[in-house]
Amino acid sequence: MTEPNIIDGKAFAARLRARIAECVAALQQSHGLTPGLAVILVGEDPASNVYVRNKAKQTVACGMRSVEHRLPHDVLQADLLSLIAELNADGAVHGILVQLPLPGQIDEQAVMDAIDPQKDVDGFHVINAGRLAVGAAALVPCTPLGCLMMLRDRLGDLSGLAAVIVGRSNIVGKPMAALLLAANCTVTMAHSRTRDLPGVCRRADILVAAVGRSEMIRGDWIKPGAAVIDVGINRVPGTEPGKTRLVGDVAFEEAVQVAGAITPVPGGVGPMTIAVLLRNTLIAACRQAGVAEPDL
Ligand code: GUN
């Protein structure tokens, strides 16, 4: 049986996908519009391959169009940029995602910034990052938005809560801070240079761990009753020789004894990321077509 303080991200994501599928069907009926998502994968990284396959499968399952472009690992940046220019101009494509990480010869931010901001369903374009920072209508990075949705679902109004985010990446930490600030939390950003990290974490009503270090955050770093969102996905050696397992940035077995709510790894934040990507694609399609967007 699932413990009552465990947040089931898999079930939450499935409910979100079901609502997206209903909205997509309604949009098709009312406006003859089918949202389209183009995914570009450079190289053969096995984890990225699995990820991209899952994205395509779930896009189609929600009734949207999925287009996949695979480029060799030694592709020139200019060739990647000209594919993006083609997709920017393609009216059937409403969302463009370039799977990260990219090989070393390519400047990732230059690639992100080449995507039409209206089609930037990852929310990584500097225009969308800026819009989020000033509180304007933006496309918001999928992982932090998924975290916010789960927090709102569990806690309701977040106003006045002390939120501590461990990790300051452009993909998770910074947009998570902007979202929680907009939700009226008192936000602290902690990182590798923070002094007395355990003490800072202990002040949090909401603790978001996004550092990429396996089980770094211990049970006694957590305020009793706090909501803990674990964004980490770290592969570590398993108990049997040659086997591996996934763990988060939080020592789950300790934390689950203390937290009021906690996301497990796997099955917490991970499943939400793709569901929010589909949500962003639907929202992007509505905005491009000038159709009222659903409240998702
Ligand atoms: N690689 C791992 N996560 C992500 C993501 O959310 N977006 C992109 N584009 N690449 C990723």
What φ, ψ does residue 280 adopt, rounded to 5°? -65, -35
Q: How far apart are CA 180 and CA 187, in angstroms?
A: 7
Query: Which of 51, 147, 172 has most ligand 1 atoms within 8 Å of CB, for mutation?
Result: 51
What is the distance in A from the centroid of ligand 1 to the CA of 100? 5
Report the predicted TM-score, pTM, of the whole model to 2 decimal places. 0.97
Atom of ligand 1 nearest to the CA of 171: 6
Q: Which two tokens stand for residue 108?
A: 């990732």
Q: How far apart are CA 250 and CA 252, in angstroms?
A: 5
Atom of ligand 1 nearest to the CA of 100: 10
Block residue for tokens 């949009």: 27
Cis geometry, peptide bond prior to residue 294 (ω within 30 degrees of 0): no
Average pLDDT over residues 266-281: 97
Give domain limits for the chain: 29-117, 142-270
Query: Which of 59, 171, 272 has most ligand 1 atoms within 8 Å of CB, for mutation?
Result: 171
What is the distance in A from the centroid of ligand 1 to the CA of 67? 16
Residue-level pLDDT at 151: 98
List Cβ neighbours of 146 (8 Å cut-off, separation of 6 or more): 9, 13, 269, 272, 273, 275, 276
Q: How far apart are CA 258 and CA 261, in angstroms?
A: 9
Atom 2 (ligand 1) nearest CA: 100
CATH topology match: 29-117 vs 142-270: yes
Residue-level pLDDT at 60: 98
Q: Which two tokens stand for residue 235?
A: 């592969």
Atom of ligand 1 nearest to the CA of 142: 6
Residue-level pLDDT at 47: 87
Q: Which of 201, 257, 202, 265 is nearest to 5 (CA)?
A: 257
What is the distance in A from the centroid of ligand 1 to the CA of 1? 32
Report the pocket of ligand 1 as residue ranges, CB < 6 Å: 97-100, 122, 142-143, 273
Residue-level pLDDT at 3: 82
Block residue for tokens 């991970």: 270
Residues labelled catalytic: 55, 99, 122
Residue-level pLDDT at 55: 95
Q: Which of 231-248 are b and which e, b meaning 16 or more Cβ less than 10 Å from the residue's Cβ? A: bbbbeeeeeeeeeeeebb
Percent of the chain exceeding pLDDT 70 equals 99
What is the distance in A from the centroid of ligand 1 to the CA of 30? 32
Q: Which two tokens stand for residue 31?
A: 């406006």
What is the distance in A from the centroid of ligand 1 to the CA of 99? 5
Q: How far apart are CA 45 and CA 184, in angstroms?
A: 39
- The string of pLDDT tens digits covering residues 242-256 is 999 999 999 999 999
Atom of ligand 1 nearest to the CA of 98: 9
What distance separates the 2 farthest-apart alpha carbons in the chain? 56
**Mean pLDDT taken over the chain:** 97
Superfamily of domain 29-117: Leucine Dehydrogenase, chain A, domain 1 (3.40.50.10860)
Atom 1 (ligand 1) nearest CA: 100
- The string of pLDDT tens digits covering residues 3-54 is 889 999 999 999 999 999 999 999 999 999 999 999 999 999 888 999 999 9
- The string of pLDDT tens digits covering residues 83-128 is 999 999 999 999 999 999 999 999 999 999 999 999 999 999 999 9
Query: What CATH number does domain 142-270 carry, 3.40.50.720, 3.30.260.10, 3.30.9.10, 3.30.450.20?
Result: 3.40.50.720
Average pLDDT over residues 71-93: 98
Atom 9 (ligand 1) nearest CA: 99
Atom 8 (ligand 1) nearest CA: 99
Residue-level pLDDT at 164: 99
Residue-level pLDDT at 175: 98
Atom of ligand 1 nearest to the CA of 273: 6
Q: How far apart are CA 80 and CA 99, in angstroms?
A: 12
| pLDDT at residue 171 greater than cutoff 80 | yes
Phi-psi region of 142 (alpha: psi -120 to 50; beta: other; left: phi over 0): alpha
DSSP string, the chain: ---TTB--HHHHHHHHHHHHHHHHHHHHHHH----EEEEEEES--HHHHHHHHHHHHHHHHTT-EEEEEEE-TT--HHHHHHHHHHHHH-TT--EEEEPSPPPTTS-HHHHHHHS-GGGBTT--SHHHHHHHHHT-S----HHHHHHHHHHHHHHS--TT-EEEEE---TTTHHHHHHHHHHTT-EEEEE-TT-TTHHHHHTT-SEEEE-S--TT-B-GGGS-TT-EEEE---EEEE-SSTT-EEEE-SB-HHHHTTT-SEE--SSSSHHHHHHHHHHHHHHHHHHHHHTPPPP--
What is the distance in A from the centroid of ligand 1 to the CA of 105? 18
